[in-house]
Structure 1
Amino acid sequence: MDRYAVIGHPITHSLSPQIHTLFAAQTTQSLTYEGIELPLTSFETRLWQLIKEGYLGFNVTMPFKGDAFDFVDELTERAKRARAVNTIKILADGRTIGDTTDGVGLLNDLQQHLKWTLEDTHILMLGAGGAVRGVLEPLIEANPASLTLANRTLEKAEELADDFPEITPCSFAELSGRFDLIINGTSASLSGMLPPIPESLINPGVKCYDMMYSAEPTAFLKWATSLGAVDLSDGLGMLVGQAAESFNYWRGVSPEVQPVIDELRQRLTIAT
């Protein structure tokens, strides 16, 4: 059977093995998919070992998306602009191609699953890390009226604006105004924390999306709910959507996303 894996550090929390196992069953593809934790200091050496063992592709999660970008022989156009790789494909001749599917996963979740309109809307993105970098180009291509990127450190937001001049950078302290959609791309939810943004940004009409996910609403979504927001979602749909894009990149088959989202949501609920 063909072998695939998600690589990261740590990796025990990853739902990717469950997702791709469900995709394989749904599409009758003969493959195995596992989670492999790589040492922080020997990414390239360990990855070459896995390729020699016969793995045909990898998903890449924290903290190795930048390492994967440097590792591969070729890059897709969207990976070049994002300067990050979350999907690696091994060709028959041994060459490696890097892609980024996070942006597709986010856009599909927002537009197809949630049915949220992005065109001509005012979007606020929170955070300037690798997860955010990978989704900016698809968000820009959705043609919003404006895309503001706020970060604790203004310099990091400005660095992204250098690569993506369509965005408006600012610090959290400078935030003001009214937005139609706020996307939390910070890692604050992983530790139950909140990005330091003013309560005035939250109103009953604003849509709030957290790129993190959990069985219970994230701290950001709980906070937004307490301030009157009613259209909210975590990032589980994004996770499954980016995985589906990776699966199709490797196998040439597009799995159905919604049944897998529903199955995982049920499993998360049962686990709690």
Structure 2
Amino acid sequence: MKRYAVFGHPVAHSRSPRIHAAFAAQCAIELEYTKIDASPDAFAGAVAAFGRAGGLGANVTLPHKLAAAALCEQVSDRARRAGAVNTLVRASNAWHGDNTDGVGLVRDLQARHGLDLHGRRTLIIGAGGAARGVAPALLDAGIGALVVANRTPASARTLLDAIDAPASARACGLDSLPMLGAFDLVINATAAARGDGLVALPASLVHTGSAAVDLGYGAAAAAFLDWARDAGAGVQVDGLGMLVEQAAESFMRWHGIRPNTDPVYAMLRADDGG
């Protein structure tokens, strides 16, 4: 049996096993896909033990995406630009890293929600592994001016430097948000904006043509999407479609087959009563 897993802390909520089981059934592939909860201190050891036990690949979620990059003998160009890894591939007794978050987000926004990203003035809230994962792909998709806002502005600047952002890209603190005007695309990429309640976001950040995207899904995305709706953003998108699309990209890295994501996305929406 081919062994795969998702690493996180916490990870009990993860839908990755259900997604990959559906992909495997669709593609007639037998596999075992489990959840592994590892604290930051235990993460490296847990990944090593999984490899020794025959693990062939893994997904990595919060808070380990940055740490996962350090465990890899090689990383893809998109993982290098992001400085974060969400997909591990076992090859020649070593881990190779990739980051499928960005391509998953772009594919979901363009193909599923019909959004033209070209030229959109874009705000990313947060500068952690999730933001690093999606920012390069958004730039490659042709977004317009980019602003990254974070509690610590220096971390936002570090992100822009790491992803080779254009000189026009700007880093700022959350206290600068009221002075930034409206954006065509606002992405919530920070768990801090969800865990203890949404940070104060001015309604001036969006207009009727704006798309507001939370990289989380379910209850984790509710506060931000409620804010976006109340503020007048014309489109609100949670991260469920991105989750499915990035998983499909991981699945293709492991098995060489791209699954059909639409029925799996519909399955998860049905699970939520949507």
Q: Does 1:31 align with 2:35?
A: no
Alignment-derived partner of residue 46 in structure 2: 46
CA contact (8 A) 2:74 2:95 kept: yes
Q: Which 10-residue stretch deviates more, 31-40 or 69-78?
A: 31-40
Matches within 5 A, 1:1-272: 1-91=1-91, 93-163=92-162, 164-166=164-166, 167-175=169-177, 176-188=180-192, 190-191=194-195, 193-214=197-218, 218-269=222-273
Q: Deviations over 1:140-165 (max 9, x none)?
A: 11112211111122111111122233
- Count the aligned residue pairs: 269
One-letter code of the match for 1:239? L
Distance in 1 separating the partners of 2:11 and 2:229: 31
Aligned-pair distance for 1:215? 5.8
TM-score normalised per structure 1: 0.93
Q: 1:192: how far off?
A: 6.1
Question: Superposition RMSD on alpha carbons, in Å?
Answer: 1.7
Equivalent pair of 1:17/1:33 in contact (CA under 8 Å): yes
Task: Tell which deviates more after alignment, 115-124 or 222-231.
Answer: 222-231
| TM-score normalised per structure 2 | 0.93
Q: How far apart are residue 46 of structure 1 and its match?
A: 2.3
CA drift of 1:35 comes to 0.7
Which deviates further from its counterpart, 136-145 or 201-210? 201-210
Change (3 A) 1:248 1:159: same
Percent of residue pairs identical: 43
Query: Is the deviation greater in 243-252 or in 155-164?
Result: 155-164
Task: Output the CA distance in 2 between the equivalents of 1:137 and 1:227.
Answer: 27
Letter in 2 for 1:8: G
3-state secondary structure, aligned to 2:272: helix
CA contact (8 A) 1:73 1:96 kept: yes
The 1:215/1:194 distance shift into structure 2, 3 A limit, reads: closer
Q: Is the 8 A contact 2:183 2:207 kept in 1?
A: no
Q: Which moved more, 1:53-62 or 1:37-46?
A: 37-46
The letter of the residue matching 2:147 is T
Runs of 4+ in 1 over 4 A off after TM superposition: none
| Matched residue type, 2:43 | F
Over 3 Å counting, the alpha-carbon distance change for 1:30 and 1:254 in structure 2 is same
Q: Name the amino acid aligned to 2:41.
A: T
Mean Cα displacement is larger for which, 250-259 or 190-199? Answer: 190-199
Q: Quote the offset at 1:15 in angstroms.
A: 0.6
**Alignment check: 8 A CA contact 1:181 1:206 kept:** yes
AA matched with 2:181: G
The 3 A distance-change label for structure 1 pair 186 and 216 is: closer
State which drifts further: 209-218 or 62-71: 209-218
Q: List runs of 5+ in structure 1 lacking aligned partners.
A: none
CA deviations 1:214-247 (Å, max 9, x no partner) are: 0696101111112222311100001111111000
Gap change, CA 1:61 and 1:120, over 3 Å in 2: same
Equivalent AA in structure 1 for residue 35 of structure 2: G
The 8 Å contact of residues 189 and 218 in structure 1, kept in 2 or not, is answered as no
Following the alignment from structure 2 to structure 1, what is the Cα–Cα distance between the partners of residues 193 and 239? 11
The 1:263/1:192 distance shift into structure 2, 3 A limit, reads farther
Structure 2: stretches of 5+ with no match in the other structure: none
